Amino acid sequence: MNIDCRSEIFNAVYFETKIILNKKIAPSVFEIKIYAPDFFSNLFCLKAGQFINFYVGDKAMLLPRPISICEINRESFEIRVVYRVAGLGTEIMSKLKNNDKLFVMGPLGNGFCYLKNKRVWIVGGGIGTPPLLQLAKEINNSCVTEIFLGFRGGTDNPPILTDDFKKICGNVFVATEDGSVGTKGYVSDVFADRKKPDHVYACGPMPMLSAVTEWAKSNGVSVSVSVEERMACGYGACVGCAVRIKDGNTFAYKKVCRDGPVFNGEHIFF
Amino acid sequence: MSVICGINWKTPVTTASGTFSRESAALVDVKRLGAVTLKGVSCEPWHGNPPPRIAETYGGMLNSVGLQNIGADEFIKNELPFWLRFGTPVIVNLAGHTVDEYVNAAKKFNDTPVEMFELNISCPNVDMGGMAFGTDAKTAGHVVSEVKKVSAKPLIVKLSPNVTDITEIARAAEASGADAISMINTILGMKIDITKRKPLLANTFGGLSGPAVKPVAVRMVYQVSGAVKIPVIGMGGIINAADAVEFFMAGASAVAIGTASFADPHAVIKIIDGIGEFLVKNNINDIEEIIGCSRIK
């Protein structure tokens, strides 16, 4: 089973786009839809797990905000992203209105491999769940899919996108640390007693990815994880977004933006 | 056209080392550049520093990449051919931990068609070597003269701003055979994550670049171009044509664009176009007319 989707192809484009929706969906969490026909010139390279650079346009904040693609609409040429306001840049983004313009670049990075005729799990945590929505849309019809979504819970960190996932897939399981929604505990508490899948896709905080990878390894299941790291350029020039990857008996730093953000979980030093 | 150390540049603009990759070449027409300066290369591969390596700061950014690179042999085999096909002069940035490593790196590239070397004695993110060579006039002079002895290409020496008197280092480099000076490398800086109460960068310190450093860079280019006769390639926070013109007027014969490309991947082309427009608008026939024109005699 080939789960490596790394591609040498680089077909990102940089252009000014238009906001068609910017809406708060949870405390500090927003969704933006942009009209981005330029991204659709090569349909095969626009994949779940890829990301887009958003250039906020504030002179004091030079660097783009890299945000993963949550949904791809190939009929209307729209891209939906879901992001958390984590600093000044995303705060400015959250105030953009319909028809406001901003520069974007994408698609960037390598997406998830789309498996066929397998039993797969999709495991998301917190603000790591958005890229898994498009993945679920892509593979749900060709794989037996179970989806596990974990959140901290409470009024500040309630579950997000769970209804969107439920529209796509009948097997969606939610866990919250405080038990406010779904099962109390972590996603691993939910999936532990279910029948093993052939493959696990995961995106979320590093401790969760580490735990999911450990589980997968000890159960002989392959795992793809999408990671994040602070980056400057987003396309491979600055070599800032390093992740430690196994390389024979030693290690090498790979670029999250260009070699990832999706990696074989077993290759990562967590 | 500009002539830098006998090499023809179609425009006095290059890229700053470590900010321009193959992907950049898909976003920017490399043929329009005066020269393309590539990321630092050492004799042997270097891992670089642990992440996080990047921190955004007001009007700039810190990096502590630590010159991660694949090493000269693999670079010459797999990376260099890509850059040689544009017909734009290629500048290889040479990194090392010791004088021997710099010398050996230069030797490895002597037989390649690259046009110029840039000796990186100013990276603030490596423990041994790097900036340690560029912050002492005697040490800087020594490494420059040793590399110059073996170098078959014009040698640009890239200086660190993290010194008391940068003209002293520049003079030492010139006296030791440097053909040009490039400056400034990044300014050593730091950011603290106030929620974790710890340095944000895993390496604690990093190099500051971007518009925040520009006034320091302009000042130093002014000082150094007044102190040496060899050309100065100015860089540090240039994000538009007006910034570049400041560097020319401070005394730079050419400029390099770095961090601006992260904020706008087309920045270098916009700056090249903008310099051209400035010259036309002000009836300047040759950029030489404004190089160093701000100097108070």
Q: How confident is the model at residue A117 (pLDDT cuts 50, 70, 90)?
A: very high
Residue A240 and residue B54: Cβ atoms within 8 Å? yes
pTM for the whole structure:
0.95
Given a cut of 80, whether residue B146 has pLDDT beyond it is yes
Q: How far is A257 from chain B (nearest CA, A)?
A: 11
Q: Does B153 touch chain A (CB under 8 A)?
A: no
Residue B23 and residue A12: Cβ atoms within 8 Å? yes
| CB neighbour list of residue B196: distance below 8 Å, 6 or more residues apart | none
Q: How confident is the model at residue A8 (pLDDT cuts 50, 70, 90)?
A: confident
Given a cut of 80, whether residue A5 has pLDDT beyond it is no
Average pLDDT for B242-263 = 98
Return the structure tokens found at A236.
């491979």
Q: Does B261 touch chain A (CB under 8 A)?
A: yes
Domain locations in chain B as residue ranges: 2-52+65-191+209-289
Q: How confident is the model at residue A203 (pLDDT cuts 50, 70, 90)?
A: very high
Suggest the residue from A230, A243, A250 to mutate for an interface test with chain B (most B CBs closer than 10 A): A230
What span, in angstroms and rounded, lies between the C-alpha atoms of A249 and A47? 32
Residue A62 and residue B211: Cβ atoms within 8 Å? yes
Residue A237: which of B23, B55, B61 has the nearest Cβ? B23
Residue B22 and residue A10: Cβ atoms within 8 Å? yes
Residues of B within 8 A of A243 (CB-CB) are: 51
How confident is the model at residue A44, as a pLDDT?
62
Pair B170, B135: CB distance under 8 Å: no
Residue B263 and residue A240: Cβ atoms within 8 Å? no
Residue B48: which of A10, A12, A242 has the nearest Cβ? A242
Q: How confident is the model at residue B276 (pLDDT cuts 50, 70, 90)?
A: very high
A13-108 with A112-226: one CATH topology?
A: no
Q: How far is B194 from chain A (nearest CA, A)?
A: 13
CA–CA distances in Å: residue A117 to residues A1, A120, A197, A202, A225: 11, 9, 11, 19, 20
Residue B265 and residue A258: Cβ atoms within 8 Å? no
- Digit-coded pLDDT (tens) for A144-192: 999 999 999 999 999 999 999 999 999 999 999 999 999 999 999 898 8
Residue B27 and residue A61: Cβ atoms within 8 Å? no
Nearest residue to B70 via CA among B53, B99, B48, B89: B48
Nearest residue to B137 via CA among B159, B119, B120, B105: B159
Average pLDDT of the residues of chain A = 93
Given a cut of 90, whether residue A59 has pLDDT beyond it is no
* Edge-to-edge strands, sheet with A119-125: A183-184, A172-176, A144-151, A119-125, A199-203, A222-226, A262-264
Angle between helices B99-110 and B137-150 (to 10 degrees): 30
CATH number for the domain running over B2-52+65-191+209-289: 3.20.20.70
How confident is the model at residue A193, as a pLDDT?
84
Nearest residue to A50 via CA among A266, A242, A235, A207: A235
Residues of A within 8 A of B263 (CB-CB) are: 55, 62-64
Q: Rounded to 5 degrees, what are φ and ψ at A60?
A: -80, -15
B9: left (phi over 0), alpha (psi -120 to 50) or beta: beta
How confident is the model at residue B175, as a pLDDT?
98
Pick among 2.10.240.10, 3.40.50.150, 3.30.70.360, 3.40.718.10: CATH of A227-270: 2.10.240.10
Average pLDDT for A45-67 = 93
Pair A37, A166: CB distance under 8 Å: no
Q: How confident is the model at residue A43 (pLDDT cuts 50, 70, 90)?
A: low
Catalytic residues of B: 123
Nearest residue to A47 via CA among A266, A150, A201: A201
The residue among A192 and B67 whose pLDDT is bigger is B67
CATH number for the domain running over A112-226: 3.40.50.80
Q: Does B66 touch chain A (CB under 8 A)?
A: no
Domain locations in chain A as residue ranges: 13-108, 112-226, 227-270
Contacts 24+ apart (CB under 8 A), A153-160: A153/A177, A153/A178, A153/A179, A153/A180, A153/A181, A154/A178, A154/A180, A155/A27, A156/A27, A156/A28, A157/A26, A157/A27, A157/A126, A158/A26, A158/A27, A160/A25, A160/A26, A160/A29, A160/A82, A160/A127, A160/A129, A160/A130
Q: Where are the beta strands (DSSP E) in chain B?
A: 2-4, 7-9, 13-15, 36-37, 54-57, 60-63, 90-94, 116-120, 155-158, 180-183, 187-190, 192-193, 198-199, 205-209, 232-234, 254-257
What span, in angstroms and rounded, lies between the C-alpha atoms of B145 and B133? 12
The answer to whether ipTM exceeds 0.85 is yes
- Digit-coded pLDDT (tens) for A66-96: 999 999 999 999 999 999 999 889 999 999 9
What span, in angstroms and rounded, lies between the C-alpha atoms of A169 and A145? 7
What is the DSSP secondary structure assignment for residue B159, as one 8-state letter?
P
| CB neighbour list of residue B214: distance below 8 Å, 6 or more residues apart | B236, B237, B238, B243, B246
Pair B260, B24: CB distance under 8 Å: no
Neighbours of A163 (CB within 10 A): 9
Please tell me which residue of chain B has the smallest CA distance to A239.
B65
Q: How confident is the model at residue B126 (pLDDT cuts 50, 70, 90)?
A: confident
Q: Rounded to 5 degrees, what are φ and ψ at B31?
A: -65, -20
What span, in angstroms and rounded, lies between the C-alpha atoms of A63 and A54? 9
- Digit-coded pLDDT (tens) for B68-116: 999 999 999 999 999 999 999 999 999 999 999 999 999 999 999 999 9
Average pLDDT for A234-262 = 95
Q: Which CATH architecture has domain A13-108?
A: Beta Barrel (2.40)
Rg (C-alpha) for chain B, rounded Å, is 18
Q: How confident is the model at residue A231 (pLDDT cuts 50, 70, 90)?
A: very high
Given a cut of 90, whether residue A100 has pLDDT beyond it is yes
